[in-house]
Amino acid sequence: MQVGDRNEIVKEVSKEFSAKEFGSGSVDVLATPAMIAFMEEAALKLVDSQLDEDRATVGSLVNVKHLAPTPVGDKVKVNAVLKEVDGKRLVFEVTAHDSNNKIGEGEHERFIINLSKFMNKLS
């Protein structure tokens, strides 16, 4: 993985991703937590497939602005660009667009972990 690597995913805004259903608002538009989850997914899919079997990444920071509402039924295109690699720390620039507008932008950070050691800490 290298700085500049990018990934794009497209998600349909179904009712389950609405603020009303998600519990983060009372309107049938894309919930902010759902948009953030889409951004994390784009970053995750960019790097996890490149890691050894006993490695994974975990999210550690999200700093995102939700810029515009997206109605249920629209599609959202989400991009993650790897902008910094600092040892096990990975920093991504994330953006989201619906069919009309840029709806979100920000930064997401993930850390590469040893999966066995990480899971053993939970026991």
The one catalytic residue in 12, 16, 21, 40 is 40
pLDDT value at 64 more than 80: yes
* pLDDT grade for 106, boundaries at 50, 70 and 90: very high
59 marked ligand binding residue: yes
Torsion of CA 116, 117, 122, 123, to 10 degrees: 80
> In angstroms, rounded to a whole number, what is the distance separating the alpha carbons of residues 33 and 29?
12
Catalytic residue, chosen from 66, 95, 97, 108, is: 66
- Name the residue ranges covered by the structural domains of the chain: 6-121
Contacts of 34 (CB under 8 A, 6+ apart): 13, 17, 18, 22
Average pLDDT over residues 79-108: 98
User: What number of H helices and E strands is found in the chain?
Assistant: 3, 5
CATH no. of 6-121: 3.10.129.10
Establish whether 95 is a catalytic residue: no
> Model pTM?
0.93
Clarify whether 57 is annotated catalytic.
no
110 has binding-site annotation? yes
Catalytic residue selected from 12, 16, 32, 97: 32
Decide if 70 is catalytic: no
